[in-house]
Amino acid sequence: MNYTILNLKELPVELLPRLAEIHMGDRGLLSKLGYPFVLRYFEIAYKDPRVIGVFAQDNNSGEVVGYGIASPEPESLTSQLTNDKSWFIRQIIKLFFTRPLVFIQLIISSITIKGQMNEVGAIECVYFSVDPKFRGQKIGRTIQKALMDESRKLGYKKMLASIETWNKASLSATLSNGFTIAKTFREGQYHRHRMESKL
Ligand SMILES: CC(C)(COP(=O)(O)OP(=O)(O)OC[C@H]1O[C@@H](n2cnc3c(N)ncnc32)[C@H](O)[C@@H]1OP(=O)(O)O)[C@@H](O)C(=O)NCCC(=O)NCCS
């Protein structure tokens, strides 16, 4: 497939639901919180000037097939989910009653992320995802590489990432892009590698 990697700033705002839809194919905590959280997260990331984002677009159909985002302060993105208090409280109450285990995991992850403050000059590869129909064609690896290149251009010296230990595709892509495993840790139900690469 022929595709082009573009900067997230070039994505028309009406295509944000497409990014959220692709993200729902991820098995991480954000997608478990549900689509309204995912869409709100992408709206926040899209507006945040410190976020470095890219997306892959099929040259023939124009379809968005994958994306990646990086941030020097990922916890500031999640904390902005609480900006609209009444929306957030409604979503959290719904989550508590419909998916209590996800609610507990959210609390555990919020605490763990706070203890993982980024170093000066470092940026986190927060998410990268490819539509399941287009996986296995090196698009994910290329997206992550594009995030690294863009971050280097902007002066960042190091990229960090947390990858679940079962996630072979993500792990292979990240290792191929030159990351190494700094440590392996548990975060509630998740078992993750903390990865890092010089830029
Ligand atoms: C992780 C993800 C983005 C990879 O994208 P992709 O385009 O399918 O992957 P690529 O084709 O670039 O392959 C990357 C590497 O993974 C390997 N790989 C791909 N699919 C694999 C699979 N199902 N099982 C094992 N290895 C796999 C490839 O061989 C390649 O290895 P190499 O770099 O050593 O050659 C994609 O699987 C995805 O969207 N997963 C769900 C979201 C997610 O988990 N994101 C990462 C965490 S935030």
| Position 119 in a domain | yes
Residue 110 phi, psi dihedral angles, 5° rounding: -60, -40
| Cα 116 to Cα 124: distance, rounded to the nearest angstrom | 11
| Position 14 in a domain | yes
- For residue 117, pLDDT over 60 is answered with no
| Position 184 in a domain | no
Task: Tell me, using a 6 A CB cutoff, whether residue 5 lines ligand 1.
Answer: no
| Position 194 in a domain | no
| Position 177 in a domain | no
Q: What angle do CA 74, 78, 84 make, to 5 degrees?
A: 145
* Ligand 1 centroid distance, CA of 173 (Å): 6
User: Probe ligand 1: pick from 32, 109, 131, 135, max atoms within 8 Å of CB?
Assistant: 135
Residue nearest ligand 1's atom 5 by CA: 140
| Position 48 in a domain | yes
Q: What is the CATH number of the domain that holds 78?
A: 3.40.630
| Position 17 in a domain | yes
* Ligand 1 centroid distance, CA of 56 (Å): 15
* Ligand 1 centroid distance, CA of 41 (Å): 23
Task: Tell me, using a 6 A CB cutoff, whether residue 172 lines ligand 1.
Answer: yes
Task: Tell me, using a 6 A CB cutoff, whether residue 190 lines ligand 1.
Answer: no
Contact 143, 67 (CB under 8 A): yes
- Considering its fold, how many domains does the chain have in total? 1
pTM (2 decimals)?
0.93
Quick: pLDDT tens for 1-42.
Answer: 899 999 999 999 999 999 999 999 888 888 889 999 999 999
Residue 40's domain comprises 3-159
Quick: pLDDT tens for 54-79.
Answer: 999 999 999 999 999 999 998 889 88
* Ligand 1 centroid distance, CA of 28 (Å): 15
- The amino acid present at 164, given as its one-letter code, is E
Quick: pLDDT tens for 154-189.
Answer: 999 999 999 999 999 999 999 999 999 999 998 888
| Position 97 in a domain | yes
Task: Tell me, using a 6 A CB cutoff, whether residue 25 lines ligand 1.
Answer: yes
